[in-house]
Amino acid sequence: MQNFDAATVTYKFLAPFRGEAVSPPPVWLMRQAGRYLPEYRATRAEAGSFLDLCYNPKLAAEVTLQPIRRYGFDASILFSDILVVPDALGQSVRFAEGEGPRLDPIRDVAGLARLDLSKTGSKFALVWETVARLRQDLPPETCLIGFCGAPWTVATYMVEGRGSSDQAEARSWAYRDPDGFAQLIEVLTDASITYLSGQIEAGANVLQIFDSWAGSLAEDEFERWVIAPTTKIVRALRARYPHVPIMGFPKGATSQLKSFVAATGVDGVSCDTSCPLSIMRDVADAGKVVQGNLDPLLLVAGGAALDRRVDEILAALKGRPFIFNLGHGIVPETPPEHVAQLVKRVRRGA
Ligand code: 1CP
């Protein structure tokens, strides 16, 4: 367990990182800002494209604050996207309406010439400005989470040119030419360290590294493309900012969760919906913070089924360093009143 300094200990959100179980636990939700909120849709329309919103500090801060105003979550997450990193590196990213991200794919070492680490500064600076604004505008008790995508997951989008269900192009490149693919992972690892360091300097109190596609890799590949780069990021940040906790999210990799936590040195992990509560308990008993893992579709369903599962999760993790969250992001179909129901239920004992 890290020794987090006095400047950050006032946040309830950080208590689990000091090994304290708090009841009720802190609560926030992945994608708590987003299309399920009418006020988000209005700001998004005002901003223009999705990336215009990410690079507009005033509007990005506004959409970050919207769910805090509505629900009073214990933490807010910087509004941005994991694909800001390839965009800032020079592989321009577009978000086609209703279709998700599009990039001109990089499929081999020659394509890496399009990336330039020294050019990331101007775009990263806009995100850091959002963080600085947020730390000023957020309620003093609300923790601010900075984030990036893990190198493996970001690479899958850069190599496929879009989201995919099997990450086949990235996995194929990694098998065909592991040393070439390692160069892409290295650029992303270095860019991520720069990007996250800037977020901490600007005021982020905690970090989360999203590895949404960690579950598609074989054991040795998981070690090389997930564990190794994550470990490098954690070590670099820990050396400079020992007081800032770092959460990992190796989604879909429950069978590797314990080795991921032990090897990378993260302070905690987000657990996806398929992760058994018994495994979350084991990870917490090993001294790490666990976060999760309500099915986002139960939040769409609402009603007694939602309350029942919230109660089950709370009971299973009671007395352990735990943060209430979903197993993945809020989906656009979610009725906002179900989010209010969830927060009320989690805080029922308060
Ligand atoms: O039209 C819109 O308004 C775009 C929808 C949207 C939103 C709200 C996208 C496009 N990104 C985001 C914000 C976002 N993305 C946040 C903001 C903070 C919050 O949680 O409130 C964060 C942390 C992310 C992270 C992200 N982006 C991940 C990792 C987490 C996860 O969901 O697995 C990934 C994989 C992305 C890529 C991405 N960005 C957007 C979409 C639709 C996708 C997924 C594409 C695919 O299907 O593969």
* Gap between the terminal Cα atoms of the chain: 27
Q: How far is the CA of 101 from the centre of ligand 1 (A)?
A: 9
Q: Is 137 a catalytic residue?
A: no
Residue 165 burial (10 A CB sphere; 0-12, 13-18, 19+): exposed
CA distance linking residue 5 with residue 119, whole number of Å? 33
Residue 50, ligand 1, Cβ within 6 A:
yes
Ligand 1 atom nearest the C-alpha of 147 is: 23
Q: 103 with 134: CB under 8 angstroms?
A: no
Residue 17 burial (10 A CB sphere; 0-12, 13-18, 19+): buried
- Position 349 scores a pLDDT of 58
Considering only CA atoms, which residue is closest to atom 18 of ligand 1?
79
Q: What is the pTM for the complete model shown? A: 0.96
CATH number (domain holding residue 292) = 3.20.20.210
Determine the structural domain holding residue 198 and report its residue range: 12-346
Task: List the chain residues with pLDDT less than 50.
Answer: 1-3, 5-6, 8-9, 350
Residues 157, 171, 195, 272: which is the catalytic one? 157
Residue 34, ligand 1, Cβ within 6 A:
yes
- Position 8 scores a pLDDT of 45
Residue 44, ligand 1, Cβ within 6 A:
yes
Residue 1 lies in a domain: no
Residue 305 lies in a domain: yes
- Position 99 scores a pLDDT of 85
Q: Is 44 a catalytic residue?
A: yes
3-state secondary structure 239-305: HHCCCCCEEEEECCCHHHHHHHHHHHCCCEEEECCCCCHHHHHHHHHCCCEEEEEECHHHHHHCHHH
- Position 1 scores a pLDDT of 40
- Position 9 scores a pLDDT of 44
CA 266 to centroid of chain Cα atoms: 13
- Position 96 scores a pLDDT of 81
Q: Is 157 a catalytic residue?
A: yes
- Position 140 scores a pLDDT of 94
Considering only CA atoms, which residue is closest to atom 15 of ligand 1?
81
Ligand 1 atom nearest the C-alpha of 35 is: 3
Residue 127, ligand 1, Cβ within 6 A:
no
Q: How far is the CA of 81 from the centre of ligand 1 (A)?
A: 6
Residue 51 lies in a domain: yes
> Into how many domains does the chain fold?
1
| Residue of 158, 260, 174, 261 lying closest to 221 (CA atoms) | 174
Residues 11, 31, 74, 211: which is the catalytic one? 31
Dmax (CA) for the chain in angstroms is: 58
Q: How far is the CA of 1 from the centre of ligand 1 (A)?
A: 30
pLDDT tens string 247-300: 999 999 999 999 999 999 999 999 999 999 999 999 999 999 999 999 999 999
pLDDT tens string 137-169: 999 999 999 999 999 999 999 999 999 999 999
